Structure 1
């Protein structure tokens, strides 16, 4: 654990990870908050709620490289405070917007979402040495896994105790506080050596967005496509077995093993290639198709969980190495867009497969297709 202590001892690193954790947890919960509001507050269908979620997700996917490019050109604080202002207006307005207007507003809010995740990745690349970077990105991936475990669950519990308006305001407030916190910290996005070497000169896009970067982005897309499909397939398998109430236990095992895998990967003596980790992730997902009840499914998802955070960490590390410092914002934005697109497409793809076949082969399709 020496590597983690060295990373967390870097000036500003622990504060950055803490504040960005708040923002990222709220951002992962925003779709659930809007779903609860549309279903409970507007008394509309889940299909209508899915439309709002799709609009927000589409905005997120398109906004990543746009905001990253603005950060490269205008600076971090300008972009953060601008996106914070948009989020304040959107979340305060949610309870008074009619459904049609909410669709457009959700897209705009996604397009101009506080870029907590890509900023954290940029700062990690700037604040760490080459020897510290893998441990730092492992912590960032673990942070992401924890946010996905905590955020939606808190919203669901809040919706059971409070009105959906209050839940939406709470999510929005957490996003705003996290964005303001990152702006106050104002972490460096370029190392001192990068700035001294002329990192302000912006190279042509074709010089860095080549086949290697595109391959890494494709692997990020494939990873999140697989992962979002696995969550839905878990529910489908257990529903077929009449054990859907145990889905939360299986998902919890999945999340805990992912956190453990990320922490273990960060202390390994040397990294693994991204393509190898993704290939292994696909392979270890295949045996889950043989499990037909929740105890065996818990065992089967351990392998997938152990490789989830390492694969995402390797993608982030590769993007930071392939992108010149002066375009790192745009590159990390592209990475966020690729992964958001994977999360958005994975569940519908598996949903179609669920409707067309029995649930158990879905794992084999998902893992083999992406591995």
Structure 2
């Protein structure tokens, strides 16, 4: 494996700065899940099922809010679209640490509804700054950076929660969430070629030059963009996003529960970091390669490799299992993003990225409470089994449907060509060369 593709990518104007900003802005998003779980289980003294419901409440809000926030980014530009999120998130997270369980559920919905769309904005900007032939590498690097954030943020969240309190940890998460929104508004990366700022100076000049370098690529894609945005291919990609999110959320809850069973809660941070480390390795290898893989195939692999974690009888074996389970994670997520960018025109990309976020939050909304309830009744190992098993069923079923659809289309094409051969008269006819060309294809 060579890392040369990443070197070429990072030498492109504005890309390196965008990657660094994304690392910082994603920290609160990566920490909030484990902090909320510890707060509900520890401070509020409730079960993992209750913690899963809080996570589900937030993800339901995100599922509702992501598409219209993406649409606002498409229509208004980044700064105007993010301002309401920053203001409302500041209010919600100022109150959330001091609420009872019911109040926390309401706060979770509102926080999700106005969550700063860091992930979709960064990926949307990469699709503008990077030409199509390098986008698979760019999205793989983005997924790797996401995993690096998930290696650091939960460790910090658990450290604050166990050293001081989960209330203090939630306060820190809230402040960091508002800071992430303000950072994105300050940097204002381009999300559309048409909305690229005509700025001067180091940052603005680099962004403008980067946009100009890929304007031809974006223009050519827009010229042939399909009129329909909702297509079977898009729906399959959104299904892959939901399945991946379900597996990952269920694994996250199961890791915390396993360590709690073994009275090793302070080890949660580094265990999740090892899980993310496996994803980093997988993402780097996938991004440096030359072949793209169907998203559902990678999600199926992700689900299958999650199941062995259920057999871990101690923290050492769990560490080995989560590294293995993490390897397909970044490739699956980057493959989903790359597919979305290919499937939709640029002027609808923010909205469709929002739909992808909604699909992932639906997966989270199902995965967290489902695995949490199973863990409460059957133990932490059952959580891994449910997460992996459901992922196998969803991804495997999606691949089976795709195979059936492809076979039917192939059969229809054969029938059509046979009809053309039978109907073809002897001797030349006007337009005969067109029919011959169609049959040959």
Paired with 2:332 and 2:286, the residues of 1 have a C-alpha distance of 9
Paired with 1:201 and 1:85, the residues of 2 have a C-alpha distance of 39
Q: Does 1:75 align with 2:77?
A: yes
Q: Does 1:265 align with 2:267?
A: no
Q: Which moved more, 1:251-260 or 1:293-302?
A: 293-302
Paired with 2:218 and 2:103, the residues of 1 have a C-alpha distance of 44
Q: Does 1:63 align with 2:103?
A: no
Alignment of 1:1-371 (within 5 A): 1-33=3-35, 44-46=44-46, 52-94=54-96, 103-162=105-164, 166-191=168-193, 192-193=215-216, 196=219, 207-234=228-255, 242=262, 244=264, 250-355=271-376, 357=378, 360=381, 363-371=384-392
In the alignment, which residue of structure 1 is the partner of 2:206?
A: none
Q: Normalized against structure 1, the TM-score is what?
A: 0.85
How many residues align? The count is 366
1:235/1:244 contact within 8 Å kept: no
Deviation at 1:287, TM superposition (A): 3.7
Paired with 2:95 and 2:384, the residues of 1 have a C-alpha distance of 41
Unaligned runs of 5+ in 2: 194-214, 393-441
2:375/2:382 contact within 8 Å kept: no
Please list the CA deviations of residues 31-70 of structure 1 after superposition, one character each: whole Å capped at 9, or x if unmatched.
4555666778xx6443676665443332122111110111
Secondary structure of 1:46's partner?
A: coil
Paired with 1:176 and 1:138, the residues of 2 have a C-alpha distance of 27
Seen in structure 2, the aligned counterparts of structure 1 residues 44 and 51 have a Cα distance that, compared at 3 Å, is same
Paired with 1:282 and 1:304, the residues of 2 have a C-alpha distance of 8
1:35/1:46 contact within 8 Å kept: no
Please list the CA deviations of residues 64-100 of structure 1 after superposition, one character each: whole Å capped at 9, or x if unmatched.
1110111112221111222112222333344676765
Unaligned runs of 5+ in 1: none
Paired with 2:163 and 2:69, the residues of 1 have a C-alpha distance of 36
Q: Which moved more, 1:274-283 or 1:66-75?
A: 274-283
The structure with the largest alpha-carbon Rg is: 2
2:60/2:109 contact within 8 Å kept: yes
Paired with 1:359 and 1:243, the residues of 2 have a C-alpha distance of 13
Over the aligned positions, Cα root-mean-square deviation in angstroms equals: 3.3
Paired with 1:234 and 1:324, the residues of 2 have a C-alpha distance of 39
Please list the CA deviations of residues 253-298 of structure 1 after superposition, one character each: whole Å capped at 9, or x if unmatched.
3221111111111101222221221222233334444443443333
Please list the CA deviations of residues 215-246 of structure 1 after superposition, one character each: whole Å capped at 9, or x if unmatched.
11111111121122223444556677x57566
2:70/2:352 contact within 8 Å kept: yes
Seen in structure 2, the aligned counterparts of structure 1 residues 229 and 34 have a Cα distance that, compared at 3 Å, is closer
